[in-house]
Structure 1
Amino acid sequence: MSAGTAAVIGGAFLTTESNLSARQAGGSLNSGDAAILRFLGAIEILESDLWIQYAELGGIQPAPGTTDPEVPGLSGGNPLYTDALTILDMDMPQYIHDNADDEITHAAFIHAYLAAHGASTAELDLLNGKKFRTIPGSTADGSSGLLRLTNLTELSVDTSFWTRYRSDSGNPDLGDTFGQAVTGLNVGKHTAIPRSNADTAGSSIGHPTDHLKAIAFTAGFHFAFIEQGGTSLYPSLAQRVTNSEVLRILLSIGPTETMHFQTWQDKAGNATPVSDTDPITGASVTFMDLTQGQPETLQANLIMPEPCPFLSRKFPICSIIRPTQTK
């Protein structure tokens, strides 16, 4: 076959593929792809609700007398809570604001895409309205006082993601389980935001109480917990879509969740040793120094996914997102 003939055949093949992709991308969505997008849209609405609460209290704030064009409800923040968060990193307020902004845009884009393709958004509209916003939020300085979809004041945070991504021998897709990084945080009811000004009482800038430190560090690990979910969810559901443009959406949004996750687990590792028992719920938690003297499964600076078994233990270990299996 001559080079010219090969080029013609190759060009015809690519044109056919391009036309096929165009047909798949246009028009209405099939019910399965629409359902997947609606599910992701609902997740993004819930994530937005979480992150807006964090942004109100601990994110960067607009200048007095102005409004933020990206994140609603900001009115000055909570300086004492924000100060405690900066133990983890001085840029925490910017990161919190940006994560909130990202999730808000994810939810808005998915909603608009569904509507543009004639798919129902009624359930998303209902979720994003007032009907399910029934949970009282924080009354501490900086909170908008709005009712919420999610509750940041009674959390049990599974920190096994920490050891999962630092293990070179285990993969949840192969049935492996992983230990906790923070003692006590996965049981009981812990608050990740000040519920009222009582939770910041006794603190001053540069001198947070142990109780406020524990609240801020709970938030730090919860940030990573939220985003590790999206890190796995998008590649898992990408295996189930049929439309090339829907696939592109999942493959484009999903990695932003992974970028969030890696940022947050890096910052969570800066928590300093502290123990606290919540005066309201009685939940106890102990944060330890993960930067020194820890085995690899707890070592703070191992923020890149350790290679682990993938698909089958007969293959060499490989650095991957996990879990991603769908059944």
Structure 2
Amino acid sequence: MANATNLNKDSVGRRKFLKSGMLAGGAALGAGLLAGGKSATAQNGGGGLTKGDVAILRFLAAAELIESDLWVQYAELGGLTSGMPIEVDPNQQLNSYQAALSNLDPDGPQYITSNTLDEISHANFLNGYLESKNEDPVNFDEFRTLQGSQASGAQDIGRLTNLMHLNVDTSWYIRYRSATNPDFGATFPQAIKINNRTAIPITNADFDGSDHIQVIANTAAFHFGYIEQGGSSLYAALSQKASSLEVLKITLGIGGDEIMHFLEWVDFAGNGVQAPVAPRSANGLTFPNFFQPLNPLVQPSLIFPVPCEFISPNLPHCSVIRPLDDKFAGAVATIASFTADGLFVGQSKKFLSTLQTLAEEADAAKREL
């Protein structure tokens, strides 16, 4: 594995290094979070929540388990410390994947680790809350069967998700720079066509070649934005169905954190399509410099949502999260998008069927007053 430069000293000074106890949470999740829990489709009553609220929380727990699984894989290879769990060494050498991510932002590895720990906390909280209401948590341990990366730093454990055959939907990059809204029928082209690509090093051979590893890191950057924009819309869509004020508090609180993630990755991905990182090509995939020529629909320095249609086309445009409707932002739409993304390449039909059932139940929830 090639060593790269030391962590940027100014960046190191700003960080609070995360100790092994916190990082161990990621490894514990990867090895089998909530081992011994009940099946993903079982449901008990008597917790004081409506059937719809339970369905919402169960699907969100499932989504967070999926997110946690993929983020753990990113953190193992590209996070603040390569290989979890170990105590962080401020004098460590970056591997070339971490270095390529740091080219997009010197704090990139820290952000990846922090995002990972956030998603783990979401999954743990949602399952813990369900149990506190006498409802069954979601347990996907039996589906942790996929082979992950075999590069140095990656754990040799079963995975729920596959990051090595991704079809990254990059239309979100244009959508948030447009004055139109998918909830009103607007469609958007791909900012960059990323088909059947890996977002992590698969073997140690992938650490070699500066252009090769940078293209993998850039693919990851656009995938980060794709995942977190989806979470932002999903929580906003399901919040509209919540009956309990406490459940609404949960969806708004966690959903707000997903939006914070998304904003960071919008900026992060944009750094991969401007100088000095771009243009960059490898193995038939090119990340151009979006400032040459300048097009507002892909302008990297536009990181906040452009005002768009909202509620009614007759009302003034408003800067909002979008989409917000079930058709594009609901639970079923989320699973369809994850599947098209390639996250579940190699997964069992039972896993996909279980997810689909959880999604349909969540989308069927209706607000009860």
Equivalent residue for 2:280, pick from 265, 274, 278: 274
Q: Which has the higher contact order (CA 8 A, sep 6+)?
A: 2
What is the count of residue pairs matched by the alignment? 274
The two structures have a TM-score, normalised by structure 1, of 0.80
Q: Which residue pairs with 2:10 in the alignment?
A: none
**Which ranges of structure 2 fall in alignment gaps of 5 or more residues?**
1-45, 273-277, 328-369
**Which ranges of structure 1 fall in alignment gaps of 5 or more residues?**
1-25, 69-75, 278-283
Aligned Cα RMSD in Å? 2.0
Q: Which residue pairs with 1:287 in the alignment?
A: 287
2:175 is the counterpart of 1:164: yes
2:66 is the counterpart of 1:46: yes
2:222 is the counterpart of 1:190: no
CA distance in 2 between counterparts of 1:189 and 1:77 reads 30
CA distance in 1 between counterparts of 2:80 and 2:148 reads 19
Quickly say closer, same or farther: Cα 1:62–1:218, change in 2 above 3 A. closer
* Equivalent pair of 1:106/1:253 in contact (CA under 8 Å): yes
* Equivalent pair of 1:227/1:257 in contact (CA under 8 Å): yes
How far does the alpha carbon of each residue in 1:62-109 deviate from its partner, in whole angstroms, 9 at most, with x for none? 8999458xxxxxxx8971110111111110000000000000000000
How far does the alpha carbon of each residue in 1:219-249 deviate from its partner, in whole angstroms, 9 at most, with x for none? 0100000000001000100001101100000
CA distance in 2 between counterparts of 1:137 and 1:311 reads 43
* Equivalent pair of 2:53/2:242 in contact (CA under 8 Å): yes
Note the 1:1-327 alignment, pairs <5 A.
28-61=48-81, 66-67=86-87, 79-121=95-137, 124-125=138-139, 127=140, 129=141, 131-168=142-179, 170-182=180-192, 184-185=193-194, 188-201=195-208, 203=209, 208=210, 210-271=211-272, 272-277=278-283, 284-326=284-326
Q: Secondary structure at the match of 1:156?
A: strand
How far does the alpha carbon of each residue in 1:258-277 deviate from its partner, in whole angstroms, 9 at most, with x for none? 11011001011111211222
How far does the alpha carbon of each residue in 1:86-136 deviate from its partner, in whole angstroms, 9 at most, with x for none? 111110000000000000000000000000001122xx12x1x2x101110
CA distance in 2 between counterparts of 1:294 and 1:146 reads 44
Which protein has the larger Cα radius of gyration, Structure 1 or Structure 2? 1
CA distance in 2 between counterparts of 1:51 and 1:65 reads 14
CA distance in 2 between counterparts of 1:237 and 1:63 reads 35
Q: Secondary structure at the match of 1:87?
A: helix
CA distance in 2 between counterparts of 1:260 and 1:138 reads 24
User: How far is 1:198 from its partner?
Assistant: 1.4
CA distance in 1 between counterparts of 2:269 and 2:167 reads 16
CA distance in 2 between counterparts of 1:318 and 1:49 reads 34
CA distance in 1 between counterparts of 2:178 and 2:301 reads 13
Which contiguous aligned blocks of 4+ residues in structure 1 show a shift greater than 4 angstroms?
62-68
CA distance in 1 between counterparts of 2:304 and 2:148 reads 34
Quickly say closer, same or farther: Cα 1:137–1:62, change in 2 above 3 A. closer
Q: Secondary structure at the match of 2:167?
A: coil
User: How far is 1:27 from its partner?
Assistant: 5.3
CA distance in 2 between counterparts of 1:32 and 1:238 reads 11
